[in-house]
């Protein structure tokens, strides 16, 4: 068996989580949720942060929007800190431990789970927020990633998600995928994943969790989202755009994830994401004694995970759509 290369993939924490205590009361009877109604007809748009508690850039972006008094010209705007209990446990000395308290908040978004009998910190909060999410027409869910890798826009499997990502225009790489076997993301909840529904959602992965650039992209993405939808004027957004739009976006179509089957999964290389593996059948890791191989030529590795737990997605396989 080939030797797995060990590498230190710890990263410095270059971001400071914002103090969100001033937002605790909210303004609609839900803690850490602020909603602003223009009083004019229009869509309900939402920007969500800290679905995962150690992903600081979204909290920084929502804090920035609230401090700069982002308000809709029409329709409603909701800005929400989601998994606050996990976020408030963030410790820069142990920054990976506050992703969630009991379970992944972003694997709960089916009616069966939300209506079920299970209980957890994350489920209680998801059920509390569900009536808001049920009324949202357009969602931007802000995230970040474990490794230093180019940022990604997760557009879901439908053409409407891809078109929406093209409208937003950043970041350079757009992923079309169906999520995780372990549970449904909020981005895929109900109408967001229904081709017959006008509702639409994007999940932006702004880079490595604690890099400064992740907060810059989060802020830019949020203001562009509001501007493109016409919720605010372009000239209102312009002073807050800190990341330039790429000259061209690239699209990766994901065929599916590799789900870990054992308690001893390891990659053979310190993959960080967007590596293109030329040949089908190339061994990229071992799951127990079984080799894990690329399923086709020019296979793109998407978000290889450092949380290598049984039942989790180790990596997703995809193809660049603009690659022959």
Domain extent listing, the chain: 21-240, 255-320
pLDDT exceeds 60 at position 4: no
pLDDT exceeds 50 at position 8: no
More confidently predicted of 51 and 182: 51
Residue 178 — pLDDT band, cuts 50, 70, 90?
confident
pLDDT exceeds 90 at position 172: yes
The whole-number average pLDDT for the span 254-278 is 94
What pLDDT, in 10s, does the model give residues 18-71?
999 999 999 999 999 999 999 999 999 999 999 999 999 999 999 999 999 999
Second-level CATH architecture of 255-320: Beta Barrel (2.40)
More confidently predicted of 324 and 171: 171
Which ranges in 137-285 belong to alpha helices (H)?
A: 159-168, 212-228, 234-237
The whole-number average pLDDT for the span 67-92 is 98
Residue 293 CA to residue 281 CA, distance in Å, equals: 5
Residue 9 CA to residue 116 CA, distance in Å, equals: 38
The whole-number average pLDDT for the span 273-296 is 96
pLDDT of residue 9: 53
In the predicted model, what is the mean pLDDT of the chain?
94
Second-level CATH architecture of 21-240: 3-Layer(aba) Sandwich (3.40)
Residue 306 — pLDDT band, cuts 50, 70, 90?
confident
CA 27 to chain centre: 25
Residues whose CB falls within 8 Å of the CB of residue 11, separated by 6 or more in sequence, listed in order: 148, 208, 209, 210, 211
pLDDT exceeds 80 at position 76: yes
Burial readout 240-251 (b: 16 or more C-beta within 10 A, e: otherwise):
bbebeeeeebbb
Range among 79-88, 176-185, 310-319 rated most confident: 79-88
Paired strand residues for 154 = 175, 203
pTM of the model: 0.92
* 253 three-class SS: strand
What pLDDT, in 10s, does the model give residues 140-150?
999 999 889 89
Q: Which pair of structure tokens corresponds to residue 204?
A: 């932006």
Residues whose CB falls within 8 Å of the CB of residue 140, separated by 6 or more in sequence, listed in order: 45, 46, 47, 48, 201, 202, 204, 221, 222, 225
Residue 198 CA to residue 46 CA, distance in Å, equals: 15
């Amino acid at each position: 068996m080939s030797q797995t290369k060990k590498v230190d993939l710890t990263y410095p924490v270059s971001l400071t989580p914002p103090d969100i205590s001033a937002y605790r009361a909210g303004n609609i009877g839900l803690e850490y949720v602020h909603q602003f109604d223009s009083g004019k007809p229009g869509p309900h748009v939402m920007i969500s942060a800290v679905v995962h508690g150690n992903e600081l850039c979204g909290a920084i972006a929502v804090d920035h929007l609230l401090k700069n008094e982002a308000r809709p010209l029409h329709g409603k705007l909701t800005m929400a800190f989601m998994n606050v209990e996990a976020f408030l446990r963030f410790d820069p000395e142990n920054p990976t431990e506050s992703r969630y308290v009991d379970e992944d908040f972003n694997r709960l978004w089916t009616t069966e789970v939300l209506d079920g009998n299970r209980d957890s910190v994350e489920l209680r909060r998801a059920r509390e927020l569900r009536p808001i999410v049920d009324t949202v027409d357009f969602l931007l869910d802000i995230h970040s990633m474990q490794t230093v890798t180019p940022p990604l826009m997760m557009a879901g499997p439908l053409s409407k998600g891809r078109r929406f990502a093209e409208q937003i225009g950043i970041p350079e790489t757009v992923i079309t995928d169906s999520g995780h076997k372990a549970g449904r993301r909020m981005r895929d909840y109900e109408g967001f994943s229904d081709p017959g529904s006008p509702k639409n959602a994007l999940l932006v992965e702004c880079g490595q969790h604690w890099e400064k650039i992740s907060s810059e992209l989060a802020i830019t993405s949020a203001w562009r989202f509001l501007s493109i939808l016409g919720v605010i004027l372009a000239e209102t957004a312009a002073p807050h755009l800190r990341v330039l739009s790429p000259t061209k976006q690239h699209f990766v179509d994901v065929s599916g994830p590799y789900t870990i089957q054992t308690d001893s999964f390891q990659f053979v290389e310190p993959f960080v994401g967007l590596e293109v593996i030329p040949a089908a059948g190339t061994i990229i890791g071992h799951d127990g004694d079984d080799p894990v191989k690329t399923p086709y030529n020019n296979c793109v590795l998407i978000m290889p995970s450092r949380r290598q737990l049984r039942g989790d997605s180790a990596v997703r396989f995809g193809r660049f759509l603009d690659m022959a």
